[in-house]
Structure 1
Amino acid sequence: MAGSGGRVGLDDALDPFVLAMDVGSTASRGDVYDAAGRPVGGDRSKVAHEFRTGADGASEIDPDQVVDELAEIITELAAAAPEGRIGGVALDTFASSLVGVDADDRAVTPCYTYADSRCGAQVRALRREHDEEQVRQRTGVRLHSSYLPARLRWLRETDPDRFAAARRWMSLGEYAYLRLLGTTAAGTATAAWTGMLDRHTGRWDPEMLAAAGVEPDRLSQVRDPGDPLTDVDPEVAKRWPALDGARWFAPISDGFASNLGTGAADPTTAAVAAATSGAIRVLVRDIPERIPPGLWCYRVDAGRSLLGGALNDVGRVLSWLHDTVQLGDTDPADLMAAAPDPTTPLVLPYLSGERSTGWAADARAVISGVSGATTGGQLFRGAMEGVALSYERIADQLRTTSADPQRILASGRVTQDLPSWLQVLADALGTPVEPVTMKRATLHGTALHALEVLAPDTAREPVPTGPTLHPVPEHREHYRDRAEAYDRLYRAVITGPGTG
C-alpha cells in the first residue's frame, strides 16, 4: 500500500501547477495538480455526457458539446487558481475519435467514437487490398473498425457530401483545442491510435492515408509531449488570466494517460484499466520490432511505446447486467466473492464487438450453458468471469513478448464499483492484482505527462494502492478449464477478423 492520494492546500503545493482535463465515455473532467502530482485546493470539475448509440453500430457524440464542457471546466478551475502558478494545460480523450472540420474550423460531422462499428464492410475490403500483417507491424494496429482508415473510407462511401465538406480530419481533442485556442496539433499517442501513424518513424503512413482517401495536409501536425503548442490565440489569456504564460500540451490518448496515472510507467509494471472499456498495457522503452498477433503497439513519443490489448466491453457489461438481470436481494459483491461454480454459464462478453485478441468487430455476446435452473446471479457471475477471461487472453500474449511486468495495477470504475471482482481477475490471470485506490487515475496521468516536461526533477507523490489480491490456488484449475472452454466456444461462434 502506498501514497495518500489526498488533496494539498495552495500554501503547501509545489509549483508549477498543471490544469489537466480528461474526456471519457461518460463525462469530461478536470483538476489542477501541483508539481508532485497532487490534486490542489478544492474538488475536481465534471460535466456528464453520453454517447449516442444505435443498433446499426453507431457510437457518436456532439464535438461542440464537448468543447463547451471543456470551456466550462477551464473557467471553473482557472477562476480558483492563483495567477502565475499554472505552468501547463494538458488534455486526454478517449482514443480513436474522428471529427471532420470545414474551412471555417467548424465540425461538419459528429464525433465518431472508438466503439462505432458501422465500417465493417470497409474493414473487410481493406483486408483484401492490403497485407494486414505488414500494416500491423508498421502502424502497430490491425485493420479494424476501431481505427480510422476503415472509418474514413466508410464515410467517403456512404456520405460523400459530408466527407467532401471536411477540409481537415482530427481527433476530438484536436478539435477542442482548435475551437478553444485557435490552433491545434495531435499528440503522438493520439496520432498512433488512428491506425495511420508509422510507429517506427513517427510520421503519417502513406499507404494507410491512401487507403482512407485523405492527404497528409488534411491531418494535424504530430507532436511529442516535449513539444507544446505554439501560436495560441492571445485572447485565451484574456479569457482565462490564470493561464497566461501556461504551455498547452497536444492532446494525448487516455490509454497513455492511464498508464502514467496508475504508476505503470515502465516495463516492470502492467496496467489493467477497467472502465466502460478496458485494456492491459505495458509502457516499454524504444519501439519493439515485432508485435504478437492479438496485441497493439502505440508509439507515444520518440523513445517509448505502449504495448498491450483492449476490450470494448468491461463497465458496459456491468451496466448491462445491472439494467437487465434480476438479482433480487443478491449483492453483486457477494456473487464475485463466492467460490467459482462449474455450473455458471460461460459468457463471451462482446456487447459492441471484439478488439483484442481476435479483432472480430461484428462479434456479439454469447451465453452458453443456461438451463431452467440458472439464476440471475449465476448469469451475472458468468458475464463478469467472461470479462476476466478476456483480459487473460491479452495477458497470455503479453507473456510472449520482451515485456516482463512484475506488478499488475488495476484501476477504473469497475475496480471501485465492484472491487470483489478483482479476486476473479487475479484468479483468471493467475497473477496478483494490486488495486489503485486513486480516483481519476487517467486525469492524474494527463497531468504527469505535462510534468515530465515542466518539472522533471520534482519527486512525485506515490500512487495510493489497496491490499493486493492473490490468486487462490484452489481456483486455478477451474479457470484453466474455463479458459479452454471459452476458446472452444469462441472458435465455434466467432469467425475472427474477417468479420471486420
Structure 2
Amino acid sequence: MSFSTTIDEAVGPLVLALDVGSTGTRGGLYDARGLPVKGARLKILHSFTTAGDGTSTMDADQVTDEIRACIDHCATQFDAPIAGVALDTFAASLVGVDAEHRAITPTFTYADSRCAPQVSYLRATLDEDETQQHTGTRQHTSYLPPRFLWLKENHADAFGRARRWLSLGEYAWLRIIGTTAAGTSTAAWTGMLNRHTCTWDEPLAATVGVPIEKLSPVAHPSQPLRPAIDIAQTWPTLADAMWFAPVSDGHTQSFGAGATDSSRLVLSAATSGALRRVITGAVDDLPRGLWCYRLDEERSILGGAINDVGRAMTWLENTFQLPEPEVVIDYLNGDPHTDTPLVLPWFTGERSTGWIGDARAVLSGVSAATTPLELYRGTVEGIALAYQRMLTELLLVEGRPAEIVGTGRVTLDHPGLLQMIADATGAPVTPVTIKRSTLHGTALHALDVLAPHVERADVTRAETLRPHPERRGYYRRRVERFRVLYDKVYAR
C-alpha cells in the first residue's frame, strides 16, 4: 500500500502543510489520517547565500512568494474545503521588519557564523550554565542572542530601524494573512525562550538590547491565528481554515517520523542533522552538550544537532572526482579500513556537543595516496561519529529508547550512512521510507488540533539496520581518535 490517498478517498478534514527547508519550499495537502493527497503538491528550489566569512542568508520576500505559490497551487487543485494551514521553517532564522511590515535585513539562517565573537562575549558575560537551564540552549552562532549583538555592533542603522524581529515563518504569515505569532517551537529554537514558562527570557533580551515588544507573541499549537484579511477572496477553499503559528522543522520532522513520545528517538539526516527525543515536561538538569526546546503546553524535545550532513556530502561530490554512485554505495557499506582519513565534519561550525560555532572541518591522515573515495568515506564516518557523541549524552539523560528511526533526504539517498551510524553507536536504526517526513509532521501538528480522534496512518519503514559485531572494535578506536583530535584542534 502506498503512503498516499486520492481526493475521493481522503478522510476529512484536510490540511495544507508547508515546509521551508534549506534547499526548497514545499507544499502539500493531507487528509485526517496524515496521508498526502495525490495531485496537490509543489516544491520550489532555493539555496542559502553563503560566503567564506560565515555569511548564510536568504531573501525573506523570495521565500514568502514561494510559500504563496505553494498555497495557491495546493488550495486550487480540488473544490474541497481545507480546515487548516500549517507552516514549518528551518529553525533559528531572523529578519528585521520596519513599520510597514517590510523586511529591512536579509534573513539570517542558523548556519550564519559571523557572530562568533559575540558568542565569546556572552560566554564571558553570562553564567552560561544557568542560562542554559532557563532557555535550553548554550550560546552559539545558530541562536539569536549573539546575532542580535552582532547586528547591533555591525549594522547599527538596521538594528535601530527595525520595529519587529521575526523568524522567516512569522514574516511570511505577516505578509500573507496580515498577522503573525511565533509558534512555541519557533520561539524555543531561538535560544531566547524560557522553557519553563514558555515566555521570552526578559533578562537575556535586555542583555542583547532587544525589547520584548519587538518580538512576536508566543502561540501554542492550540492557539491558531485569525487572518486579518479576507482569505476567501483569493482562496475560497481556505475560507474557514485555521492558520497555525509557524513552528520549527525539527519539531515537525520528529512527528513526521512517528515520534510523539519518548519511546522513539529520531535520527534526522538532511542538509543538517539531529538526534531528537520528544519528552513530557522538561529535563530539570540539562547536560551541556544537549538542547531542550518546548513544543507545546506539555511536551519538549531533547537532543543535539549537526550543521553539516547533506551539505558535507554535496561538498564532497562537487569537489572530488568520485566513481559511479553504485561504487560509492558499495564502498560505504563495506568493511572499514584503518587507512581511512579521520575527519571532523564541521564545514559551517559545530553545534552539539561542543558548541564551537566557528569550527571548520579537519581532514587528518591524508597522504599522497589517499583517494577521493577514501576522503568520502572518512567524512561520512566523521558524521557518524558526531551522531555517536550526541547519542552518548542522550542515553545518560533518558536511557535507551525502544527504537531509533532514521529519516530525512540523506537517509534515503545515502543508505550507507545509517549503517555506519549503527556500527559506530552499536545501536540498531530503522529507516523511515516515506518522503517529505517534515511536511508530513507539519500536517500532523495541525491535525492534533483539528482531528484529534482520527487514527493516523503508520509511516512505512525499511528493514532495521543492525550493527556488525566485527566492526565494533574499529569504531571504538575511531571514537577515541576522534576525541583526541577534537580536543587538540578545538581546545579553548
- Pairwise TM-score range, normalised by the shorter structure: over 0.9
What is the CA-CA distance between 1:43 and the residue it aligns to? Answer: 4.8
| Pairing 1:240-251 to 2, within 5 Å after superposition | 240-251=235-246
8 A contact 1:5–1:463 mirrored in 2: no
1:478 aligns with 2:469: no
Q: Deviations over 1:107-141 (max 9, x none)?
A: 00000000000001111111111000000011000
Instruction: Describe the SS at the equivalent of 1:41.
Output: strand
8 A contact 2:40–2:77 mirrored in 1: no
- Aligned partner of 1:20 in structure 2 is 17
RMSD: 1.0
- Aligned partner of 2:267 in structure 1 is 272
- Aligned partner of 2:57 in structure 1 is 60
Q: 1:378 to 1:129 in 2, by over 3 A?
A: same
1:237 aligns with 2:232: yes
- Aligned partner of 2:440 in structure 1 is 444
8 A contact 2:273–2:309 mirrored in 1: yes
- Aligned partner of 2:293 in structure 1 is 298
Letter of the 2:63 counterpart: V
8 A contact 2:170–2:180 mirrored in 1: yes
Letter of the 2:217 counterpart: Q
TM-score when scaled to structure 2?
A: 0.98
Decide which of 339, 345, 348 is 1:349's aligned counterpart: 345
Letter of the 1:287 counterpart: A
Distance in structure 1 (CA, Å) of the matches to 2:417 and 2:361: 20
Letter of the 2:463 counterpart: P
What is the CA-CA distance between 1:234 and the residue it aligns to? Answer: 3.4
Aligned residues, how many? Answer: 491
| Pairing 1:44-193 to 2, within 5 Å after superposition | 44-84=41-81, 86-193=82-189
Distance in structure 2 (CA, Å) of the matches to 1:135 and 1:156: 21
Distance in structure 2 (CA, Å) of the matches to 1:475 and 1:307: 29
Distance in structure 2 (CA, Å) of the matches to 1:5 and 1:259: 21
Distance in structure 2 (CA, Å) of the matches to 1:404 and 1:201: 28
Distance in structure 2 (CA, Å) of the matches to 1:127 and 1:203: 22
Distance in structure 2 (CA, Å) of the matches to 1:120 and 1:267: 34
- Which consecutive unaligned segments of at least 5 residues does structure 1 have? none
The answer to which of 36-45 and 67-76 deviates more is 36-45
Instruction: Describe the SS at the equivalent of 2:464.
Output: coil
Instruction: Describe the SS at the equivalent of 1:44.
Output: strand
Distance in structure 2 (CA, Å) of the matches to 1:5 and 1:162: 50
What is the CA-CA distance between 1:431 and the residue it aligns to? Answer: 0.5
- Aligned partner of 1:320 in structure 2 is 315
What is the CA-CA distance between 1:323 and the residue it aligns to? Answer: 0.7
Q: Deviations over 1:333-366 (max 9, x none)?
A: 1121110111111000110010000011111111
| Pairing 1:453-492 to 2, within 5 Å after superposition | 453-492=449-488
- Aligned partner of 2:384 in structure 1 is 388
Instruction: Describe the SS at the equivalent of 1:117.
Output: coil
Q: Percent identity?
A: 53
Q: Deviations over 1:124-163 (max 9, x none)?
A: 1111110000000110000111100100110011010011
Letter of the 1:233 counterpart: A
- Aligned partner of 2:214 in structure 1 is 218
Distance in structure 2 (CA, Å) of the matches to 1:361 and 1:495: 13
- Aligned partner of 1:289 in structure 2 is 284
Q: Deviations over 1:95-117 (max 9, x none)?
A: 00001000000000000000000
Instruction: Describe the SS at the equivalent of 2:279.
Output: strand
Letter of the 2:125 counterpart: E
What is the CA-CA distance between 1:41 and the residue it aligns to? Answer: 2.7
Instruction: Describe the SS at the equivalent of 1:396.
Output: helix
Instruction: Describe the SS at the equivalent of 1:20.
Output: strand
Distance in structure 2 (CA, Å) of the matches to 1:399 and 1:224: 28
1:405 aligns with 2:386: no
8 A contact 1:123–1:150 mirrored in 2: yes
Letter of the 2:282 counterpart: I
Q: Deviations over 1:254-292 (max 9, x none)?
A: 000000000011101000110000000000011221111
Instruction: Describe the SS at the equivalent of 2:193.
Output: coil
Letter of the 1:32 counterpart: L
What is the CA-CA distance between 1:326 and the residue it aligns to? Answer: 2.1
Distance in structure 1 (CA, Å) of the matches to 2:389 and 2:372: 26
Instruction: Describe the SS at the equivalent of 1:444.
Output: helix
Letter of the 1:50 counterpart: S
Instruction: Describe the SS at the equivalent of 2:36.
Output: coil
Distance in structure 1 (CA, Å) of the matches to 2:395 and 2:490: 24
1:422 aligns with 2:412: no
8 A contact 1:292–1:400 mirrored in 2: no
8 A contact 1:199–1:287 mirrored in 2: yes
What is the CA-CA distance between 1:328 and the residue it aligns to? Answer: 3.6
Instruction: Describe the SS at the equivalent of 1:126.
Output: helix
Instruction: Describe the SS at the equivalent of 2:28.
Output: strand
Q: 1:329 to 1:18 in 2, by over 3 A?
A: closer
8 A contact 1:126–1:211 mirrored in 2: no
What is the CA-CA distance between 1:32 and the residue it aligns to? Answer: 0.4
Instruction: Describe the SS at the equivalent of 1:91.
Output: strand
8 A contact 2:265–2:403 mirrored in 1: yes
8 A contact 2:178–2:229 mirrored in 1: no
8 A contact 1:333–1:421 mirrored in 2: no
Distance in structure 2 (CA, Å) of the matches to 1:81 and 1:165: 43
8 A contact 2:41–2:73 mirrored in 1: no
8 A contact 2:289–2:393 mirrored in 1: yes
8 A contact 1:185–1:222 mirrored in 2: yes
- Aligned partner of 1:195 in structure 2 is 191
